[in-house]
Structure 1
Amino acid sequence: MNLGLMLDAVIVLSSGFGLTLALTVLSLAVGLALSVPLAFARAFGRRGLSLAVLAYTYVFRGTPMLVQLFLVYYGLSQIEAVRASIFWVILRDPFWCALLTFSLNSAAHTTEILSRGLESVPKGVREAAAALGLRRTQVAWLITFPIAFRISLPAYGNEVVGMIKGSSLASTVTLLEITGVARQMVSVTFAPYEIFIVAGAIYLSLTLLAVKATQLLERRLSTEGSQAPRSKTQTRSGLPEITTLMP
């Protein structure tokens, strides 16, 4: 094992760190923003709307993300209407194709995670909040969603880790993130063993940071929930149930 080459690889592969981080963070952010309304529709929407969301999540969760990326990057370019549209300026760029694919995939997984969390919130909690005169939107955003998010946080942490590792697929559409730079370096040095060990160690470090951040957020939410004030009005209305359910 060439330790000198591995040290060089650390420096070279760091050039792809920014792109990996950008793809991961942006995909998770867009995916989360899309998944929140979809999760409410999946959990509480009318049957037709719920089934439509289920069909979307089923397709994206049931097919490999690599296939989805190829369909977006290579497949859309074969459609004349797409090439003639204003969207072609974006879709011809591999970065935006990867971001679009990763975001839709993350949204599908996160939708199912959050919808399970929403369904886990007891109906009595929502009824107690409504009894105080809160509107449905207020109940959803101030009561139901915070509890559901706390319940879903461990599973969402797994989604974050999965997206960090999944970002390596961007190298298949010419993007030079960590794996792309590693493949490029291997083609020059013919030393895949040392270089991919370094690449793996970088991904491992990122996933460990993500896990620690999720655990820290869980502890923070647990502490805030346990210190939530309880008023006499809340006690008579039944809202202490909400406090006890908040970890």
Structure 2
Amino acid sequence: MSIATGFIEARRPPAAPPRPWTGARIAGHVLMALWIVSGFFLVWYLAEAYFSPFFEKYADKYVSGFIVTLQIVGVSLLIGALLSVPVALARNSRLALFRWPAYAYVYFFRGTPLLAQTFLIYYGAGSFRDALTEVGLWTFFRDAWFCVIFAFSLNTAAYQAEILRGAISNVPKGQWEGAKALGLPRHVILFKVIIPQALMVALRPYGNEIILMIKGSAIASIVTVFDLMGETRRAYSRSYDFQAYIWAAVFYLFLVETLRRVWDKFEARLTRHLAR
């Protein structure tokens, strides 16, 4: 053994002792085994059900419902993102005229269920039919799809506004001071310096909000929108076959898992400079 090899061996930390088999460790292995067995059973069941008459009859309906779900979630998130920026800026404003209405808006939509908000807009609009007709808005509110988009957009805008507000508050004050020292206007500092840094912090919460919107979109089926869950309920009401809900769960799981992996890659790409 050379001197260099002996020096490396001397500096190498000792091997960690084997972990004892505690009750928590045994329970963890048992639960993992149950998950694996359940996964194999689900794959076997779906492989058998794939060739069943139920899937052949309703597969195209599930695909159309899946597309409607993507449309609802995508449009709502886009509108909510556009609305969240002024709301977040109003929440951070020093003027009570802007701060308190924005606070009330966020407080209401984060403090009440999305189902209740959808019902208030869909069923409540009928109580103001004459007034809405006079201003030309009844065509919008009589359509369930538009009501769902409206309710979901307002809901996710409140959550996205709080995410963005917290991320902006997390940016060090030195960024503001340094930009002011360069003589940059306040709006340039906000949109060119602060918000880009805040979005880096908000990436993970934004991903969680998208996933929550995907799962919450099932509420649209209650107000006669035939999204993925709406088609599932219709298939079950006609066949009384429980695999209708199993296929719905598989579609939702596929969508959420795909989004999670894509968002992780997206986040890693945008924050790659922070890992160095």
Per the shorter chain, which TM-score range? 0.7 to 0.9
CA–CA distance in 2 between the matches of 1:122 and 1:64?
34
Question: d(CA) in 2 for partners of 1:141 and 1:121?
Answer: 13
Distance 1:51 1:213 in 2: 37
In the TM superposition, 1:26-65 aligns within 5 A as: 26-65=75-114
1:93 aligned onto 2:165: no
Aligned positions, number: 226
TM-score, normalization: structure 1?
Answer: 0.86
Match of 2:236 in 1: 186
What pairs up with 1:110-121 in 2 under 5 angstroms? 110-121=160-171
Q: 1:196 aligns with which of 231, 234, 245?
A: 245
Partner of 1:7: 55
Alpha-carbon shift at residue 124 of structure 1 (Å) = 0.9
Q: Which residue of 2 aligns with 1:230?
A: none
1:1-247 counterparts in 2 under 5 A? 3=49, 4-5=52-53, 7-8=55-56, 9-79=58-128, 80-191=130-241, 193-223=242-272
Q: Deviation above 4 Å: which 4+ runs of structure 1?
A: 224-227
**What is the identity percentage for the equivalent residue pairs of Structure 1 and Structure 2?**
36
More contact order relative to length (CA 8 Å, sep ≥ 6): 1
Q: Provide the rounded CA distance (Å) in 2 between the counterparts of 1:167 and 1:53.
A: 25
- Stretches of structure 2 that go unaligned for 5 or more consecutive residues are 1-44
Deviation (angstroms), 1:218: 1.2
Residue 177 of structure 1: how far off its partner (Å): 0.7
Q: Distance in 2 between matches of 1:60 and 1:121?
A: 26
Q: Residue 210 of structure 1 aligns to a residue in which SS?
A: helix
Return the alpha-carbon distance in structure 1 between the equivalents of residues 185 and 211 of structure 2.
Answer: 36
CA distance in 2 between counterparts of 1:45 and 1:103 reads 26
Seen in structure 2, the aligned counterparts of structure 1 residues 124 and 197 have a Cα distance that, compared at 3 Å, is same
Structure 1, unaligned stretches of length 5 or more? 228-247
Structure 1, 84-93 or 154-163: larger mean CA deviation: 84-93
Change (3 A) 1:46 1:199: same
TM-score, normalised relative to structure 2: 0.78
Which of the pair has more CA radius of gyration?
Answer: 2
Contact kept, 8 Å, 1:66 with 1:169, in 2: the verdict is yes
Q: Do the aligned residues in 2 keep the contact of 1:94 with 1:175 (CA within 8 Å)? A: yes
Distance in 2 between the 1:216 and 1:141 partners? 25
